């Protein structure tokens, strides 16, 4: 979008909020409400982009991938968008669906059925190591465990990839911020390491039974090209960890801060899937991705223009009081399965079933083995794209 086009076309409503300031990242909920109240889409003068933050407007935009395209990148800076060119996340249909058919094979509910016992075995063993402790960090000692153990094992990456994947994934998400912001600059540097590693990864470096190797077998059979197989390694690597880690740690924080909800789950463990979706709704692990408009478009009364970038603010949409009564209340009996924490439409997260299975496995074990717990320490770290806690010290009462 040219500077001239920005100046000559009227864009309203407008707001000068900086969505990537330390103040907003630390306390975004009041800002989300301000933006929702201003309109279904608001022009951010600081970022020269729209922010779409109401539930109905986010869903409507995400369902129209032909107008709100991912092909121009989903980050707020051109360096990251250009570096990501070719990955599935930046493709639209029909290309996206062709790639996704191959990518999603090991992530379907049917494919994951055989993984449930393995997840339970690993999680039980990890909880065993914690069961003698009077305090532990539910992030590093619990939430990290299944994603770092199982996902790296399933991907079949080399030892270098397994060791660095958590740092790389967080860096790649930080790299999605606006140009010249310190977190963006640092994230781009880390992202370069990840891109270089994945570009240099050879088939002989991979576990032949892993998901990564399966992409190249699909290329051998003509389902996708070998370059597409190499590109899709990024689609597996970046999203596989932080969403699950933040989802579980946020669920535990919310349950610790709402002990009556923990006791309700103790009495009704069948509500665990509802509790997971409710936690994902309230503390969406990914704050937002962006899209670019392919044509002039009116979104619920707001005129937008071809070439404009639009921020799909999932975290704000998930707290929209127009859709969710008492949206800031954590209620494990709420049916929040329609949240947009995983996106919506064509690009809905392909790994959402695995992530929720991992979280559900751990929560089921903790409900059986802990009578109660309380949160005694929380540490947060600001991040351009992700939302979660860096440390969550809990004091358990073991059964």
Reduced 3-state DSSP string for 332-374: CCCCCCCCCCCCCHHHCCCCHHHHHHHHHHHHHHHHHHEEEEE
Q: Are 147 and 361 in contact (CB under 8 A)?
A: no
Can you give the pTM of this predicted structure?
Answer: 0.94
Segment holding 269, helix H or strand E = none
The pLDDT of residue 325 is 98
Burial label, 157 (beta-carbon count in 10 A; 0-12, 13-18, 19+): buried
Strands 41-44 vs 14-15: parallel, antiparallel or unpaired: parallel
Q: Which of 170, 167, 352 is nearest to 247 (CA)?
A: 352
Question: What is the rounded distance in angstroms from the CA atom of residue 249 to the CA atom of residue 278?
Answer: 13
Give the per-residue pLDDT at 8: 65
Q: What is the pLDDT of residue 86?
A: 87
pLDDT tens sequence for the chain (399 residues): 544 444 568 999 999 999 999 999 999 999 999 999 999 999 999 999 999 999 999 999 999 999 999 999 999 999 999 999 989 999 999 999 999 999 998 888 888 888 899 999 999 999 999 999 999 999 999 999 998 888 778 888 777 777 888 899 899 999 999 999 999 999 999 999 988 888 888 888 888 888 889 999 999 999 999 999 988 888 887 777 888 999 999 999 999 999 999 999 999 999 999 999 999 999 999 999 999 999 999 999 999 999 999 999 999 999 999 999 999 999 999 999 999 999 999 999 999 999 999 999 999 999 999 999 999 999 999 999 999 999 999 999 999
DSSP 103-135: HTGGGSHHHHGGGHHHHHHHHHHHHHHHTT-S-
pLDDT confidence of residue 3: 47
**CA distances (Å), origin 392, targets 72, 87, 245, 259:** 37, 34, 12, 16
Local structure of 397: helix, strand or coil: strand
Topology of domain 3-398, per CATH? Cytochrome p450 (1.10.630)
Note the pLDDT of residue 2.
Answer: 46
* Number of other residues whose CB lies within 10 A of the CB of residue 135: 13
């Amino acid at each position: 979008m040219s500077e001239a086009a920005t100046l000559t076309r009227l864009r309203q409503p407008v707001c000068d909020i900086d969505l990537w300031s330390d103040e907003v990242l630390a306390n975004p909920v009041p800002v989300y409400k301000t933006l929702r109240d201003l309109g279904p889409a608001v022009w951010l003068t600081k970022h020269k982009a729209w922010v779409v933050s109401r539930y109905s407007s986010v869903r409507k935009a995400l369902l129209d991938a032909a107008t709100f395209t991912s092909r121009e990148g989903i980050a707020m800076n051109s360096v990251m968008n250009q570096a990501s060119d070719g990955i599935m996340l930046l493709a639209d249909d029909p290309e996206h669906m062709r790639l996704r058919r191959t990518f999603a094979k090991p992530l379907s509910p049917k494919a994951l059925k055989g993984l449930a016992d393995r997840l339970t075995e690993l999680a039980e063993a990890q909880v065993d190591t914690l069961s003698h402790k009077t305090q532990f960090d539910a992030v590093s000692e619990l939430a990290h465990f299944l994603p770092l153990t199982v996902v790296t094992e399933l991907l079949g990456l080399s030892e270098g990839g397994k060791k660095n994947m958590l740092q790389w994934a967080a860096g790649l998400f930080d790299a999605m911020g606006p140009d010249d912001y310190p977190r963006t600059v640092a994230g781009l540097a880390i992202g370069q390491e990840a891109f270089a590693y994945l570009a240099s990864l050879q088939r002989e470096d991979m576990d032949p039974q892993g998901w990564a190797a399966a992409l190249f077998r699909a290329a051998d059979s003509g389902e996708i090209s070998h370059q597409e197989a190499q590109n899709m390694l990024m689609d597996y690597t970046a999203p596989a960890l932080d969403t699950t880690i933040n989802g579980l740690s946020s669920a535990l924080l919310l349950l610790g801060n709402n002990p009556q909800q923990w006791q309700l789950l103790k009495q009704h463990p069948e509500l665990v899937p509802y509790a997971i979706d409710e936690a994902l709704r309230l503390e969406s692990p990914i704050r937002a991705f962006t899209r670019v408009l392919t044509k002039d478009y009116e979104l619920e009364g707001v005129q937008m223009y071809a070439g404009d970038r639009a921020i799909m603010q999932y975290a704000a949409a998930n707290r929209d009081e127009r859709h969710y009564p008492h949206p800031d209340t954590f209620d494990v009996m709420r049916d929040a399965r329609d949240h947009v924490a995983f996106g919506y439409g064509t690009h809905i997260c392909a790994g959402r079933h695995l992530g929720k299975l991992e979280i559900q496995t751990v929560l089921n074990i903790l409900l059986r083995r802990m009578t109660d717990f309380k949160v005694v320490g929380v540490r947060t770290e600001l991040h351009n794209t992700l939302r979660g806690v860096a440390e969550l010290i809990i004091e358990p009462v073991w059964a």
